[in-house]
């Protein structure tokens, strides 16, 4: 079994965590390594639920902070093992997971081992299946099995944020928009009715759509409505009777999931629409006292989070939550995924300073 040494630097730990492949649905090896590394720490109570590991202090502090990070990645594409690279004089770690979000996980693991007397009680969560459908998410399972573990006054997700604080997150909706036709031999196409051709208005509407900028509590969230997949066709000599366009709608946290569904159905009026995945967004939550203390301590200027993250899960439970982690979000899932070593160090310093100061 791979082993993790929590005494090394956060950058070295990032490399070690990344070099244990953990594409969604294959996280067990990394979960085993994390569980083995944190279980001997006497100041932590360690709980395992599937491939989700929870470690928490029980110091009787007046406040509790939940700090979480997912351990899965999108598929590897010849970008492991991790390698060092220098670009414009800056040192990077290059490879799958360095940005999304194993550098953040490495920082959390190191601090979990070393912060034996923090100013607040801390619940550390490292969870599986974040990069896939919401119902598979390890936190979904954990919330059903141990809802008490989510209790807290503030939560921090180690999602990549360029070492800045990103408040809240956009909601995420996926829908299948379908067109129907009639099959026939392509040599007698006039007998059939081509469903793929009927998809042209769907694509036209999307190409002409202008995304909205929506302000929520002082942060401006940019929405997006895009086709992300299209499928149709039976054979090279058959007129297709079905075409499906998968659409992704990223909606500002001012909108409820129900409003998002209504917007998509209205946008594609006249077509069959099936919503296949839906997760509400999260308002920034930066008005909470602990959030304000945290932002001040790390010296960050809050920004909006355009992607969906599990801050939404905590927000729905009434726990204000922000994103704070190393890595450029625009490089998440990118084949050139890479994180500046200095940013890993800076995030570690920021969290350590805030959690240690009394």
223 is catalytic: no
- Residue labelled with tokens 């414009």: 88
Q: Which of 110, 122, 126, 96 is nearest to 23 (CA)?
A: 96
Mind spelling out the 3-state secondary structure of 83-112?
EEEEECCEEEEECCCHHHHHHHHHHHHHHH
Active-site residue identified among 51, 72, 128, 131: 72
Listed residue (198, 181, 187) closest to 236, CA to CA: 187
Q: What is the Cα–Cα distance from 305 to 309, expressed in whole angstroms? A: 8
Catalytic pick among 27, 130, 131, 159: 130
Backbone φ, ψ for residue 93 (5° rounding) = -105, 125
Q: Pairing mode, if any, of strands 64-70 and 121-127? A: parallel
Is 287 noted as a catalytic residue in this protein? Answer: no
What's the alpha-carbon Rg for the chain, to the nearest Å? 22
CA separation (Å) from 168 to 154, 228, 265?
12, 24, 25
Catalytic residues: 72, 130
């Amino acid at each position: 079994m791979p082993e993790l040494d929590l005494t090394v630097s956060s950058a070295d730990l990032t490399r070690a965590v990344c070099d244990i492949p953990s594409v969604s649905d294959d996280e067990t090896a990394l979960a085993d390594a994390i569980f083995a590394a944190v279980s001997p720490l006497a100041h932590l109570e360690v709980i395992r639920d599937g491939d989700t590991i929870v470690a928490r202090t029980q110091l009787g502090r007046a406040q509790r902070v939940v700090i979480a990070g997912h351990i899965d990645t999108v598929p590897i594409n010849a970008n492991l093992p991790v390698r060092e690279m220098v670009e414009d004089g800056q040192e990077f770690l290059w490879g799958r997971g360095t940005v999304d979000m194993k550098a953040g996980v490495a920082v959390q693991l190191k601090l979990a081992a070393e912060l034996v007397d923090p100013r607040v009680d801390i619940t550390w969560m490292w969870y599986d299946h974040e990069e896939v459908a919401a119902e598979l998410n390890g936190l979904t399972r954990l919330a059903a099995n141990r809802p008490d573990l989510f209790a807290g006054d503030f939560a921090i997700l180690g999602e990549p944020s360029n070492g800045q604080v990103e408040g809240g997150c956009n909601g995420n909706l996926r829908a299948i928009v379908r067109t129907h036709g009639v099959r026939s031999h392509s040599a007698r196409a006039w007998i059939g009715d081509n469903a793929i051709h009927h998809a042209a208005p769907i694509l036209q509407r999307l190409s002409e759509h202008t995304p909205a900028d929506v302000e929520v509590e002082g942060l401006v969230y940019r929405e997006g409505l895009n086709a992300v997949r299209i499928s149709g066709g039976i054979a090279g000599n058959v007129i297709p009777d079905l075409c499906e366009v998968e659409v992704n709608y990223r909606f500002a946290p001012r909108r409820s999931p129900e409003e998002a569904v209504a917007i998509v159905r209205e946008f594609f009026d006249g077509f069959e629409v099936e919503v296949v995945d839906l997760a509400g967004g999260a308002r920034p939550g930066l008005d909470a006292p602990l959030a304000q203390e945290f932002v001040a301590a790390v010296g960050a200027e809050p920004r909006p989070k355009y992607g969906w993250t599990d801050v939404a899960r905590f927000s729905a439970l009434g726990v204000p939550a922000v994103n704070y982690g190393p890595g450029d979000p625009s490089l998440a899932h990118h084949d050139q995924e890479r994180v500046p070593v200095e940013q890993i160090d800076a995030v570690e310093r920021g969290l350590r300073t805030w959690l240690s100061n009394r």
